[in-house]
Amino acid sequence: MTYCVAVRVDQGLVMLSDTRTNAGMDNIARFRKSFTYHVEGERAITLLCSGNLSITQGVKTMLSRAIREAESDPEVETILNCDTMHRAAQLVGDAMRTMQGRYRESIAMDGSAASASIMIAGQRKGGKPRLYLIYSAGNFIEATEDTPFFQIGEHKYGKPILDRIIQRETSLEDATKAVLVSMDSTLRSNLSVGMPLDLTVIETDMFDFRVRTRIEADNEEFAMISQGWSAALRKGFEDLPNVLD
């Protein structure tokens, strides 16, 4: 299992993912689920992946192969040269559909699930920051003012803080804190989600990564956020009125 969360606010985009992959109680491994792409001064993009690892790795390989081919053949369309972020989401969806068509039946015959989800977030010069969620069938939806964040994987534990905090006018700093608290809540409640974490922040009209870092288990700032949130919850609980005499 995994947990990935992405937020779109007026000031930019925040993306966070864990690295644990669980294929059974005795088969736990670490795999990166967040991937970044950048054209200096022109666009910055992040992909976050959840679900069947062979499917999502295949999608990423197809996207990377196209980028390499475009270096010698400018006619090859890629997520780094397409006209819009919407078209980038279509290219990811096309790759997802190809991988599902190629392997879904054989994966199912083996008794495994082929379902996968990918979020693509980014901004290109001349466009606004965009966030899309691509499903297994290759279709996708875009984050809106009413729904400014997406989650994939083990999402239920980390959703309440996002529902309460994230709005389009939320600052980039507060949005980052919110996704870190969301991840911390998930880590505490589900063993199939685990450290380290990959955090990416794209500031509006920067066309680069304001933050692109890995958060290890001994990270002091993340520990302070975790401890501070726990203390705030305990204090808030203690302050609630009693309902029993």
Whole-number pLDDT of residue 25: 56
For residues 74, 79, 85, 88, the Cα torsion angle rounded to the nearest 10 degrees is 110
The residue type of 21 is: T
Mean pLDDT of the chain, nearest integer: 95
Nearest to 201 by CA among 36, 4, 3, 49: 36
Whole-number pLDDT of residue 191: 83
- State the Cα–Cα distance between residues 2 and 194, nearest whole angstrom: 8
The whole-model pTM stands at 0.95
Residue 173 burial class via C-beta count within 10 angstroms: exposed 0-12, middle 13-18, buried 19 and up: exposed
Give 48's pLDDT tier (boundaries 50, 70, 90). very high
- State the Cα–Cα distance between residues 129 and 119, nearest whole angstrom: 13
Give per-residue pLDDT as tens, 184-206: 999 999 988 999 999 999 999 99
Q: Are 180 and 225 in contact (CB under 8 A)?
A: yes
Give per-residue pLDDT as tens, 52-107: 999 999 999 999 999 999 999 999 999 999 999 999 999 999 999 999 999 999 99
Alpha carbon of residue 147 to chain centroid: 15
Q: Looking at per-residue confidence, does 111 or 245 come out higher?
A: 111
Q: Phi and psi (nearest 5°) for 40?
A: -55, 125
- State the Cα–Cα distance between residues 20 and 4, nearest whole angstrom: 11
**Mean pLDDT, to the nearest integer, of 35-46?**
98
Whole-number pLDDT of residue 29: 81
Kindly tell me if the per-residue pLDDT of 24 is higher than 60.
Answer: no
Alpha-helical segments (H) within the chain: 53-70, 85-109, 159-165, 172-189, 220-239
Kindly tell me if the per-residue pLDDT of 23 is higher than 60.
Answer: no
